């Protein structure tokens, strides 16, 4: 599949110029068709056939294989969630926090990566230590100092504020040397760049498919390193998370599926698998090369308003404006969709492979 075919498969692009994939991607029709076809099969055919549970769990198992292959791990290491925030909360709730435990996060995190720790500070008296950054960049010396007595470090692989790629592997090495664990929010990476969780070496990686993977809402996933379980004290439990739900006693499932506690709709995960296969059909070499060309064009037009790095790192391009919220509303009325940010107070355009040079020019003209 080439980018033109991808674009032609996305109905929303017939009605607007879309630059907000970093919030929620416009979904290709075949992804929605796959989800709809499965929903009808599950609701209409399964009850009189193989049974709703068999059909559902087979579909989830197949989707888990696709997700695992996409991020470079085994299916046993992948749990399905509703969102990135859901995955972060699963990890936050599976640690036996003690008063004075330290969580380190950057000042670049989305609320999905800040609110769980703020809540734990209130309920469990943990310390939340914030790593200050500049221009979307981490200072590794500051990282080393901050994590020396930490229990967990939370960071994004790609910042939603600046579109910068953080050195996840380097951070993981420093954190592990200090004896702590690492949770990565990878939602802005999957669908933009190849992600290999084994290469990163993080203990946990949370993401979702409704942004750059162009899936539907509700299809999140959590990677858990097999060595991480010894340091967890889970409290969530249900028939899906244990090996024998009707036996005497219980034993958690030996893998990430222990985080999945009960009945859930397979539809978002069927869509997620189809979306991943669609992105892979385009190919990351094609996606990254195209996004680099388009973001270069956009950055040239923005001039000194640019806040994101001048050289390509991602499709997220952040830039200044006199009144970001009013500008978003004005552009939306003209059929150009971007978003505003509060920290920094700015505008952000998300450029994906389905965008074109004409899209970029239309955005620049509208600005």
Examine the domain organization and report whether 116 and 180 are in the same domain.
Answer: yes
pLDDT digits (tens, 9 = 90+) for 186-226: 999 999 999 999 999 999 999 999 999 999 999 999 999 99
The model's pTM: 0.96
Would you state the pLDDT for residue 159? 97
Would you state the pLDDT for residue 250? 93
Would you state the pLDDT for residue 342? 93
Are 117 and 92 in contact by the 8 Å Cβ rule? The answer is yes
User: Which of left, alpha, beta for 142 (phi over 0: left; psi -120 to 50: alpha)?
Assistant: alpha
Question: Which phi and psi angles does 105 have, rounded to 5°?
Answer: -135, 165
Examine the domain organization and report whether 241 and 321 are in the same domain.
Answer: no
Domain-ending residue, one of 277, 307, 337 = 277
Examine the domain organization and report whether 249 and 301 are in the same domain.
Answer: no
Examine the domain organization and report whether 83 and 225 are in the same domain.
Answer: yes
91: tokens are 């990890």
Question: Which phi and psi angles does 322 have, rounded to 5°?
Answer: -65, -40
| Residue 275's pLDDT band (cuts 50, 70, 90) | very high
Would you state the pLDDT for residue 336? 98
Examine the domain organization and report whether 138 and 237 are in the same domain.
Answer: yes
Examine the domain organization and report whether 210 and 291 are in the same domain.
Answer: no
For residue 71, give its domain range.
35-277
pLDDT digits (tens, 9 = 90+) for 82-94: 999 999 999 999 9
| Residue 344's pLDDT band (cuts 50, 70, 90) | very high
pLDDT digits (tens, 9 = 90+) for 54-89: 999 999 999 999 999 999 999 999 999 999 999 999
| Residue 34's pLDDT band (cuts 50, 70, 90) | very high
Domain-ending residue, one of 277, 305, 338 = 277
**How many distinct structural domains can be found in the chain?**
2
Mean pLDDT in residue range 238-251:
93
Would you state the pLDDT for residue 116? 97
Are 39 and 267 in contact by the 8 Å Cβ rule? The answer is yes
Would you state the pLDDT for residue 242? 95
Would you state the pLDDT for residue 282? 98
Mean pLDDT in residue range 17-32:
98
Would you state the pLDDT for residue 39? 98
**How many Å separate Cα 88 from the centre of its chain?**
11
pLDDT digits (tens, 9 = 90+) for 295-316: 999 999 999 999 999 999 999 9
| Residue 229's pLDDT band (cuts 50, 70, 90) | very high
* CATH number of residue 301's parent domain: 3.90.1150.10
Examine the domain organization and report whether 184 and 116 are in the same domain.
Answer: yes
Mean pLDDT in residue range 331-343:
97
Examine the domain organization and report whether 285 and 256 are in the same domain.
Answer: no
Examine the domain organization and report whether 133 and 100 are in the same domain.
Answer: yes
Q: What percent of the chain has pLDDT over 90?
A: 98
Three state DSSP letters for the chain? CCHHHHHHCCHHHHCCEECCCCCCCCCCHHHHHHHHHHHHHHHHHHHHCCCHHHHHHHHHHHHHHHHHHHHCCCHHHEEEECCHHHHHHHHHCCCCCCCCCEEEEECCCCHHHCHHHHHHHHHHCCEEEEECCECCECCHHHHHHHCCCCCEEEEECECCCCCCECCHHHHHHHHHHCCCEEEEECCCCECCECCCHHHHCCCEEEEECCCCCCCCCCCEEEEECHHHHHHCCCCCCCCCCECCCCCCCCCECCCHHHHCCCCCCCHHHHHHHHHHHHHHHHCHHHHHHHHHHHHHHHHHHHHHHECCCCCCCCCEEEECCCCHHHHHHHHHHCCEECEEEECCEEEEEECCCCCCHHHHHHHHHHC
| Residue 162's pLDDT band (cuts 50, 70, 90) | very high
| Residue 327's pLDDT band (cuts 50, 70, 90) | very high
Would you state the pLDDT for residue 301? 98
Examine the domain organization and report whether 125 and 184 are in the same domain.
Answer: yes
Examine the domain organization and report whether 199 and 308 are in the same domain.
Answer: no
Examine the domain organization and report whether 133 and 268 are in the same domain.
Answer: yes
Report how far residue 161's alpha carbon sits from residue 319's, in angstroms, rounded to the nearest whole number: 10
Domain-ending residue, one of 254, 277, 300 = 277
* CATH number of residue 66's parent domain: 3.40.640.10
């Amino acid at each position: 599949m080439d980018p033109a075919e991808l674009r032609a498969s996305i109905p929303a692009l017939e009605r607007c110029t879309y630059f907000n994939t970093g919030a929620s991607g416009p979904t290709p029709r075949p992804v929605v068709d796959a989800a709809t076809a499965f929903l009808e099969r599950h609701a209409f055919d399964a009850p009189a056939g193989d049974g709703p549970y068999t059909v559902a769990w087979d579909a989830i198992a197949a989707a888990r294989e696709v997700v695992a292959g996409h991020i470079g791990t085994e299916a046993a290491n992948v749990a399905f969630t509703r969102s990135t925030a859901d995955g972060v909360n699963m990890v936050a709730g599976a640690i036996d926090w003690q008063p004075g435990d330290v969580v380190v996060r950057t000042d670049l995190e989305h609320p999905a990566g800040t609110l769980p720790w703020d809540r734990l500070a209130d309920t469990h008296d943990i310390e939340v230590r914030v790593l200050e950054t500049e221009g979307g960049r981490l200072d590794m010396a500051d990282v080393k100092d901050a994590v020396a007595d930490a229990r967990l470090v939370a960071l994004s692989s790609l910042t939603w504020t600046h579109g910068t790629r953080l050195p996840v592997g380097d951070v993981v090495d420093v954190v592990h040397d200090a004896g702590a664990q690492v949770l990565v929010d990878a939602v802005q990476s999957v669908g933009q760049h190849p992600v290999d969780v084994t290469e990163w070496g993080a203990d946990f990686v949370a993401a979702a498919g409704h942004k750059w993977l162009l899936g539907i809402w509700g299809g999140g996933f959590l990677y858990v390193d097999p060595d991480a379980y010894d340091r967890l004290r889970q409290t969530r439990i249900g028939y899906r998370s244990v090996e024998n739900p009707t036996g005497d006693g219980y034993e958690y499932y030996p893998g990430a599926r222990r985080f999945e506690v009960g009945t859930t709709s397979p539809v978002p995960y069927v869509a997620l698998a189809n979306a991943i296969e669609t992105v892979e059909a385009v190919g990351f070499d094609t996606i990254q090369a195209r996004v680099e060309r388009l973001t270069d064009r956009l950055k040239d037009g923005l001039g000194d308003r640019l806040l994101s790095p001048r050289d390509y790192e991602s499709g997220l391009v952040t830039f200044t404006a006199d009144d970001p919220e009013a500008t978003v509303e004005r552009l939306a009325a003209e059929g150009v969709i971007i978003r505003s940010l509060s920290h920094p107070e700015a505008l952000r355009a998300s450029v994906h492979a389905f965008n074109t040079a004409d899209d970029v020019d239309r955005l620049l003209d509208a600005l």
